[in-house]
Structure 1
């Protein structure tokens, strides 16, 4: 027998190392590296900017020209993430503030009391909550086009759905899938339907019939998908994709063992009423005053302070509540800025317009019957780079609208292709800031969300293809 020490296999050594999805920071960093490398191979080019609808800046589709290459250098690469955080400051700060505000509300006790009341009310018909919420969220987003309201919805509905024996994924699904269904089909959505039709030069909000039918089919499939998953989790909590992440939430919100209703003090009653008033102000501001994240952030700061004081918290408790909320959403907030760095690198390297121009030319090579679906695929791919609905419209529609005339696609259909391509990817691509921030508020890792959403994403793509082929075949003009 050899004198050398022999290695004896152990059960641990025989186990194959399980593949793990890299951290989202790693995934985004790889995208940033790829974008930086692309600046050395993709020719630099630009479009001239012109005045668009409502004073926005659009591009002149006939003005594309090559410019001197300006590839990403070491310093540019080093500054990409900090610049991304600066560019995404509005979303980053909104994420922090809404996380802090809801933690203050939790400390007042009014959320726990509201959840207990609603849980008891819906205990025997809890599944009805999901379609009701999803239809409401989808209709709001289809009318006003604010997917970012998911950031408000999730903290509100999360405690209730956990208490009803669902999970964080269900809460994220209710908010994100419903708002995306409404935004994407955009029956009267000013952000994508209205702006897209303005740029395409067709009457605004025409084509409501086909979009209405699409809205119904998309939201129904979304509801079925979420309810199916939620029922499975309710019957067997260990099947939850976020079972580990929800451990503390289950301890906090599950009320199956509670037999005594928590009492509510007079100060908490007043604080509850004031909270509802603040949300009424929020809705009024969004609908009538054009409020967006900055205005909502300011309102939420005031709301946290006022409601906290009324409910009986002292100033130190309110401050610590904000701090704890900030910590809870820290990763998600930073991810928003890191994701923005991908676009920063391509814009600084002047290859974004070249990519847009190339994608537009690609559509022109697709057979006529499938030209509309080709536009959709191009818009979907571009959505990874520019996840802003209005931003994508201003960059791509000045090219796609006149191109549609050449390849035999109606401009109405080209707008629908843009809507679908912009909307469906907004809750898949990690470069979408509000989406990643919403996942952070829900406590749902991105790779687990992909496992949940991707099959529905494919179903929605199939639905999009069917509607676009029909629109192309009938030469849909609205």
Structure 2
């Protein structure tokens, strides 16, 4: 008896690359560049506690290309250096799971829906404005991750999609962060390096902020209306909420009880204490994580939740965000290779060489574009300020560009491309929480990014012509 052997060739289905695959590909590419781009470093010095690059101090140094082992070590080092943000994401996820287990969030959302029934534009506008104010103050740029689940619930209640849910929270915050007219870490640091009075030029920046905010709300509202009329036009296709099962719907019978009000009040008090601590005591991510642990514990006490149930709910919530949390460290690994390979300063020096020959207006726009591109590699706002502003400040003087314009070119360059770069741990975490692939997000976000860039270019040109000074 003969057995027939049937060989079946299966085609490998690549599909849309996962965010981790994209980031690892970038990491590998940057590692190869360490063999091609000459290594170099600027001299750095500490001025008033800030490490600054000394202009015209760039020198080539011995090459330090990344080995195969270095590539994988960078992932570990990226995870370690991003630990505060990674654990913040997990803790926030756990804390919100505890809060949601009381039914307070569902009750609040239902009440909001009731008040804004058939008024999607009003809801999108109110939420976006609220988060843009926080973004302009620089107090919610990282913490925006905590509010993405609420955005998703709001979008689901309006029968829209996860893109809208992320947009009203994340893009709302970044509409403010793009100018960050009262953010001490980005705008404040850049102005200090450029030797401008702290938060000077705020009037013109507020005008820029309002323009960017209006364009953002209009774009999101247009998209929302389009998919409301025809759900098939959603960027996400047939699964408008990739991480939400159909059975996960809000209970229509829920009403706001005294317990819900106490839990929500406790949440507001906790966040309020953190905001106070940011301004009064310079609190950062670690303090935010501690506050959310206190919020979770306090919620359990208010709801008379047993310790075991608190732990169960908390870790169920944290478990759901492991993917999004770990991706932050993966993104950081790319910067680790740039720094350890000693090519980061070479990239900055190349930017300086490109910008020197241009006239004032063109030079300001080149600064803007250069920061847009550089931010794709280094998405840390304050980190980019420390690296770029010591170079751009003397360049601005040489090219007769007002220093305020140089600061704004950096700030908008930093803010705009944060919303698309896969090296931004915040972006990738937000998308992971919502179940949105990076490629689909780009399809939605790219037109708005172009609108922002055009607005930014117009205001920078106006700033040069009006000789935007320190006022």
Q: What is the TM-score of this pair, normalised by structure 2? A: 0.91
Judge conservation of contact 1:268–1:310 (CA < 8 Å) in 2. no
1:156-167 aligned at under 5 Å gives the runs 156-167=150-161
Change in CA separation of 1:250 and 1:477 when aligned onto 2, cut-off 3 Å:
farther
| Shift in Å, 1:145 | 5.4
In the alignment, is residue 253 of structure 1 matched against residue 249 of structure 2?
A: yes
Match of 1:444? 436
Match of 2:395? 403
| Shift in Å, 1:18 | 9.3
Change in CA separation of 1:344 and 1:383 when aligned onto 2, cut-off 3 Å:
same
- Spell out structure 1 runs of 4+ moving beyond 4 A: 16-19, 263-269
**Other structure's SS at 2:38 match:** coil
Change in CA separation of 1:311 and 1:234 when aligned onto 2, cut-off 3 Å:
farther
**Other structure's SS at 1:253 match:** coil
Deviation by residue 1:306-348 (Cα, 9 ceiling, x = unmatched): 2024213322222222222222212211111111111111111
Moved more, 134-143 or 17-26: 17-26
In the alignment, is residue 46 of structure 1 matched against residue 41 of structure 2?
A: yes
Moved more, 159-168 or 34-43: 159-168
**Other structure's SS at 2:21 match:** helix
Moved more, 273-282 or 390-399: 273-282
| Shift in Å, 1:267 | 4.3
Deviation by residue 1:366-404 (Cα, 9 ceiling, x = unmatched): 344310000011111111221111110100100110011
Match of 2:70? 76
For the residues of structure 2 that align with 1:187 and 1:76, how far apart are their CA atoms?
Answer: 39
Deviation by residue 1:198-229 (Cα, 9 ceiling, x = unmatched): 10112222222321221111110000011111
Moved more, 454-463 or 206-215: 206-215
- In structure 1, the gaps of 5 or more residues are 1-12
- In structure 2, the gaps of 5 or more residues are 1-9
In the alignment, is residue 111 of structure 1 matched against residue 114 of structure 2?
A: no
Match of 2:4? none
**Other structure's SS at 1:204 match:** coil
For the residues of structure 1 that align with 2:399 and 2:95, how far apart are their CA atoms?
Answer: 51
Moved more, 246-255 or 386-395: 246-255
| Shift in Å, 1:147 | 1.6
| Shift in Å, 1:364 | 0.8
In the alignment, is residue 298 of structure 1 matched against residue 293 of structure 2?
A: no
Moved more, 113-122 or 421-430: 113-122
Moved more, 360-369 or 35-44: 360-369
| Shift in Å, 1:464 | 1.3
Change in CA separation of 1:18 and 1:465 when aligned onto 2, cut-off 3 Å:
farther
| Shift in Å, 1:433 | 1.5
Match of 1:35? 30
Match of 2:216? 222
For the residues of structure 1 that align with 2:141 and 2:261, how far apart are their CA atoms?
Answer: 31
1:336-375 aligned at under 5 Å gives the runs 336-375=328-367
Judge conservation of contact 2:234–2:240 (CA < 8 Å) in 1. no
Q: CA RMSD in A?
A: 2.3
Counterpart selection for 1:239 from 208, 228, 233: 233
| Shift in Å, 1:351 | 0.9
For the residues of structure 1 that align with 2:218 and 2:151, how far apart are their CA atoms?
Answer: 18
Match of 1:416? 408
Deviation by residue 1:60-81 (Cα, 9 ceiling, x = unmatched): 1232211111111122122111
Counterpart selection for 1:65 from 59, 66, 79: 59
Judge conservation of contact 1:372–1:468 (CA < 8 Å) in 2. yes
The structure with the largest helix share of the pair is 1
Judge conservation of contact 1:45–1:64 (CA < 8 Å) in 2. yes
Moved more, 208-217 or 371-380: 208-217
| Shift in Å, 1:17 | 10
Match of 1:143? 137
Match of 2:20? 25
Moved more, 217-226 or 169-178: 169-178
